[in-house]
Amino acid sequence: QRTNIHSRLRQDITMATEQQRPLLMIPGPIEYEDDVLKAMSTIGTSHVAPNFISCYSRVLKATREVFLAPDGQPFVLAASGSLGWDLIVANTMEAGEAALIVNTGYFGDSFGDVFEHLGCVVDHVRAEIGGCPSVEAVKEALGKKTYKIVAITHVDTSTGVLAPVQALAKAIREVCPEILIAVDGVCSIAGEELRMTEWDIDFAMTGSQKALSVPPGLSVSVARSRALKAAENRKTPVPSYYCQWSRWIPIMQAYEEERPSYFATPAVQLIQAMDVALQSILANGGIEKRFEEHLAVSKAFKAALAALGIKLVAHDGLAANTLTAAYYPDGVDPAKFLGGVKANGAIIAGGLHKDIKAKYFRVGHMGNVSSRSLDHVRVVVKAIEASLKECGHSFEEGVGLAALE
């Protein structure tokens, strides 16, 4: 009976794979390369097996290359990308210390919540929806109070806003040379330009399911010396067991040196998949080429939306390249539109920001599959055109596809 169940399960999986299905074009999880998925489909493997230790070592070294942080300490842990918030806050901050959040949407709010949960004093520098706080506003806030850390969301997935991290970091250092700068790069790293060492960023984080192009389940972050020293010099114990860098650093160092070690069991199959994905990211022009590809696909897709009369949530000059957030045209029913897009070949996401949730939609175009060519966004534009027509929106048929090319 058990054999029959397994046989039916294999048949169901095969049928689901072979059948035509809509492309997954939300801002993560995304579509994955076949080789990445195959790397997960292996027999049970020990976390201290020599082949896995070598794999983990390659992943840790490649992570530095993707983050452009040759002097950083990488952490690749079994968790959601959101664990990165807890890692930086729990290790470097103590109750009563102050944090400044450069807020561009929902995920800036969430980052702030983590600081507050652990007893920190939190202030936000905010902008209107679709905007980003100016360099001048951030410098002004830093002049009013002593902060230990500034937290920036590089791309806020709720608004599609790309924060100018380089300019912000430069301005922050002019005012507070030794303050910690933490970047939430969950929807940016491996897709948007981020140069940790060159821009003097102390901590950056992401999740595997975004532009890193690995199924969900890995928290991936890098900490540099200023952040690591802040953790070493704290006066109170780290208020987390699993998040303590002092427990993880020896493990990460041992694996990188290809020595077996143990604190908590790593996600073996996911790390094997990440090994394949990172090799793909770093091949054929490396991370610089990946930045260029994401920019090219983003520009083309946004041009297609503009041709259809669709306006972006992000203000001019602030739109991300890994995703697009756009308002529904007047008179278009959100549920009917999203359902129509799916019926015509693509799954896209509705709104997330609480103030405009029912007014806009989001499309992801990141990672090793969807950013290498226009093939996937072409499917999305075609599906959007078809759905808009079904919703009664007036436009010149084919104008979006023409603008895409």
The pLDDT profile of the chain, 405 residues, written as one tens digit per residue, is 444 544 544 454 444 444 589 999 999 999 999 999 999 999 999 999 999 999 999 999 999 999 999 999 999 999 999 999 999 999 999 999 999 999 999 999 999 999 999 999 999 999 999 999 999 999 999 999 999 999 999 999 999 999 999 999 999 999 999 999 999 999 999 999 999 999 999 999 999 999 999 999 999 999 999 999 999 999 999 999 999 999 999 999 999 999 999 999 999 999 999 999 999 999 999 999 999 999 999 999 999 999 999 999 999 999 999 999 999 999 999 999 999 999 999 999 999 999 999 999 999 999 999 999 999 999 999 999 999 999 999 999 999 999 998
As a whole number of angstroms, the distance between CA 69 and CA 315 comes to 30
| Residues in the chain, overall count | 405
Buried b / exposed e over 119-157, threshold 16 CB at 10 Å, is ebbbbbbbbebbbbbebeebbebbeeeebbbbbbbbbbb
As a whole number of angstroms, the distance between CA 405 and CA 398 comes to 11
DSSP-H helix ranges across 214-366: 225-232, 245-256, 268-282, 286-307, 334-343
Which residues touch 315 (CB under 8 Å, ≥6 apart)?
130, 131, 132, 161
From the list 283, 383, 280, the residue with the least C-alpha distance to 35 is 280
As a whole number of angstroms, the distance between CA 274 and CA 172 comes to 33
Residue 128: DSSP 8-state: S
CB 338 within 8 A of CB 348: yes
Helix (H) or strand (E) holding 10: helix 2-18
As a whole number of angstroms, the distance between CA 383 and CA 387 comes to 6
pTM of the entire predicted model? 0.95
Buried b / exposed e over 8-30, threshold 16 CB at 10 Å, is eeeeeeeeeeeeeebbbbbbbbb
